[in-house]
A and B are shown apart, each in its own frame.
Chain A
Amino acid sequence: MKSLGIYIHIPFCKQKCLYCDFLSFPEGREQQALYFDALKKEIELSAGECKDYEVTSVFIGGGTPTYPEPAYIADIMEIVKRDYNLSKDAEITIECNPGTADYKALRLYRDAGINRISIGLQSARNEELMALGRIHNRKQFEECYADARQAGFDNINVDLMSALPGQTLRDWENNLEYVCGLEPEPEHISAYSLIIEEETPFYEMYGQNSSAVQGASEKNNGKRYLPLPDEDTEREMYHRTKEILEKYGYSRYEISNYAKDGYECRHNVRYWDCGDYIGFGLGAASLMKGVRYRNTPELPHYIEAYDAARTEVQELTKEEQMEEFMFLGLRMVRGVSGDEFKKRFSCEMADMFGDVIAELRGEELLEVTEEGIHLTDYGMDLSNYCMAKFLL
């Protein structure tokens, strides 16, 4: 039986963070009730097309999935367990923000079968949390983390964000040390750097007017600007992340992801391996049998027409599938496998990408092994530059 990942999107938050460009809004209870009704129906209706699949991972993301009533999540888990071939050792993750889930709620999630929790800490410094517009402080995180352990979660991820406004290299190192010093330490750490995306409050407030964007120049044309660390500091932070986390027994397995042995996030690895996945809920993306689609991002539309929510349906050409196999696979430290490429596309990787591979190898951005290719540390720093070259 082929395997499948399920993504479930919960687009609600207590309040929007300043850097966030994900699909989420602070909606009231009434809208939430309507949304979960539609979501449940969508999941039920889709069971048929997934009946030949074994579901090996579920990821409940947001927004803040732990913000609405926990009972909604429990209901959804019941449907998934009832209508889908959920494998016994499936990885089932829920994203959680400190301050939105108490012990009771966490216990409920655990009892519903959720076995992994991803906590958005972002920073251990309260002033940095404030600057990001987060709703919680460090103490609330500590309570949440302890409660999660208490509730029986033995696979926990902590999200951290580097290159924050005003952050120094030392601040960042302290954040890393803090997370690694938790008792017991988390199994998984995601360490992203802040990117000012369009359509975020940060972008509205500062536009391109941040010091990093301006190449750390002092000029700001009299406007407010975000004192982001300059590019060199930012890279230093990235390199230190790997060193510090390795010291504590974490391995980097993807550009921004680190795990203890055996705790790599299976659901995310599925994305990078171009495995099949189905997304439920507002704006959720799916890839099944070479067809990609995305649900409508309009809440009223979704609530009304959950059964016809799929928009942007796109059948990937063989070339597009090859490209994605390459540029997603290269996000991972292990890179892409030559055998797997051949198995999927019935041709040699070198026939399609030989020139690019040779070029990047010459620039020491990429290494070729017997199994396949992977980016070097230098190549990871310049991953967009490398990946763009794999577009045919």
Chain B
Amino acid sequence: MFKSFEPNKIFAITSKAPKYVLLLFIVVLTIGLTEALVLSPEDYKQSDAVRIMYVHVPAAWISLGIFSSLALFSVGSFVFKNKNFSLIAKSLAPSGFVFNIIALVTGSIWGKPTWGTWWAWDARITSMLILALFYGMYLLAWRIYEDKEQVIKVTSLIAILGVVNVPIIKFSVDWWNTLHQPASINILSTNTAIHASMLIPLGIMTAAFALFSLLIFLMKYNTELIKVKNKGLDRL
């Protein structure tokens, strides 16, 4: 069932792909930055401060998406005893963590001119901080535990506990009264509170961020596979 996930087959692709992904990322990012910083209009209420949205929102979306995928692969590695799944999950974590930090920091920078404060312990912001802690614990667990079986158990547990927080983050703005605004975009419906002139740059920046996370994932995954092969050479 999981033959297509065998490292031998994957490495042939992942070792060649980064240079093309990097090139595509630079092109998409250049277009995205031009749109976000120059061509897109200012908001009638927030003026030019709204441009922070073009880095804050994609970073938050991608950090949530990465954690969900990481949890899926962690559970997969635990249930199916597929070690390659754990390598994929491990390789996803660094970019997810960095995107989470970017979302928190840019959100804080956006908060100052719009809310008058750098930080508020409201439901959305606090739950995003908790996600960053789960990312931190997940990455630390890989460094702390030497035993492979044990590290897979511990990281799977962290990922499962952490993924419970993902719907809490998503619906926190509906369940509680928060300083953070409710979602402006709903992927399940055509109703969106954002005009196309802002939605297009947001889409381009999200694509650029997704390409960057793919690039980091590929490089990290290659590193992990070479580490495995280095251990294999020791045993020869």
Answer yes or no: do A and B interact: no
